[in-house]
Structure 1
Amino acid sequence: MTQPIHWPTVKRPLVAILRGVKPDEVEGIVDVLIDGGFEMIEVPLNSPDPFVSIERACKRFGKDSLIGAGTVLTAADCARVSDAGGRLMVSPNVDVDVLAMAVSRGMVTMPGVFSPTEAFLALRSGASALKFFPASTLGASGIAAIRAVLPPDTVIGAVGGVSDKNFSDYVAAGVQAFGIGSSLYRPGMTTAEVRATARKTVESYDRAARQ
């Protein structure tokens, strides 16, 4: 089993997914997210000029937050994320070559899984956390059923259909990390709009975590 980079200890395990963000707006968006309580930022690689956005965000905010990429599909792209300063690698699937590259670069990893087979493969390959995706299809009960057979110290994440409206269901199922996408950020949103959705998301998560 490959030794993973440990999932970080943060106040709120919320990963902001900025799919579609542009380089000229990324710093303003990330600024309001961090100010609103987010400590982890993901720029999916199917966004416009993603490596430029990642580099800009990392240069300004990388010391105080965990910033990296999502939708990382190749080892070469993973290396480019690292070269840009990214320390977080999120993918929709389990690719052992991508995970090997990420671990060799000291990156925190969260590959996408949907089944026990994929979950165990990801863990053997050095995953820091598992991203159950799409979570809305598995549901909280499906994730809980798979979680029951995984090592007890596995960090369980949920992405896809998770928002301020259903945090409590997933927290009750043992989910410990969340990727928040379109309910938090959509292309074209202003910093003021993102500030408002960030506040709503954080307040909802905090309520669920206290239950």
Structure 2
Amino acid sequence: MGGLEGFAGMTIIDRFRAAMRELPLIAILRGLRPEEAPAIGEVLVEAGFRLIEVPLNSPQPLDSIAALRRRFPDAVIGAGTVLTAAEARDVATAGGELIVAPNFDPEVVEQTVRLGLTSLPGILTPTEAFAALKSGAHGLKLFPAELASPAVVKALLAVLPKGTPLIPVGGIGADNLAAWRAAGAAGFGLGSSLYRPGDDAATVRAKATAIVSAWRQ
């Protein structure tokens, strides 16, 4: 596991930062079913993924999160599309460590911080970005990235506190991540370019391998 040696003894925030150093790609498994979680998680971890998100608008998402946490204790497992503080608490109860949202809601960020989990709210403007950081966010999800561009990443990073992880999500894949990375993106959330409902493990393995290769090149 190389860079994640000693992972189990870290705080959740330290675990997130270590995983970002290892491979800053978040697998977004929207539509995953609990019975699929172990097999899909296996091929992702084998490919190098250490950050896995199950959106809450998936079937029985908390069951999938709990299953992934049990099977892959060295990965950071969490939820996406977390829209309320109560949902953040539910994710924590299921063993989730990462709370990702499409939007910035101060109550969600503040609850996440109180729970000791990692907060990645969605932002698109400087106003949202600074408000999210003020509430305690540990990183920022630039969403939807289709409405932005690498130039937006560069402009935001010029004014945000140094070291702020800015993670574009939406429309990112192996074929276009290089330009975003060159602009300063800290990593990416990969959704349909990595996993679509119904994809089997072999399909996800092929997609994951291509994306990881594109990042490492």
> If the TM-score is normalised by the length of the shorter chain, which range does it land in?
over 0.9
Equivalent-residue separation in structure 1 for 2:13 and 2:199 (angstroms): 33
Deviations 1:155-180 (A, max 9, x none): 11110011111111011110012100
Equivalent-residue separation in structure 1 for 2:209 and 2:163 (angstroms): 30
**Structure 2 spans left out of the alignment, 5+ residues:** 1-11
Of 55, 77, 81, which aligns to 2:91?
Answer: 81
> One-letter code of the match for 1:48?
P
The TM-score normalised by the length of structure 2 is 0.91
User: After the TM superposition, which segments of 4 or more aligned residues of structure 1 sit over 3 Å from their partners?
Assistant: 4-7
Higher helix share: 2
Aligned to 2:3: none
> One-letter code of the match for 1:204?
A
1:154 aligns with 2:164: yes
Shift of 1:153: 1.7
Correspondences of 1:47-126 after superposition (within 5 Å): 47-61=58-72, 63-126=73-136
1:9 aligns with 2:7: no
> One-letter code of the match for 2:171?
G
Task: Count matched residues.
Answer: 203
Correspondences of 1:147-186 after superposition (within 5 Å): 147-186=157-196
Equivalent-residue separation in structure 1 for 2:185 and 2:179 (angstroms): 9
Aligned to 2:40: 29
Equivalent-residue separation in structure 2 for 1:82 and 1:177 (angstroms): 24
The TM-score normalised by the length of structure 1 is 0.93
Shift of 1:96: 0.8
Higher relative contact order, chain-length normalized (CA < 8 Å, sep 6+): 1
> One-letter code of the match for 1:9?
A
Equivalent-residue separation in structure 1 for 2:71 and 2:43 (angstroms): 13
Shift of 1:9: 2.0
**Secondary structure of the equivalent of 2:188?**
strand
**Secondary structure of the equivalent of 2:65?**
helix
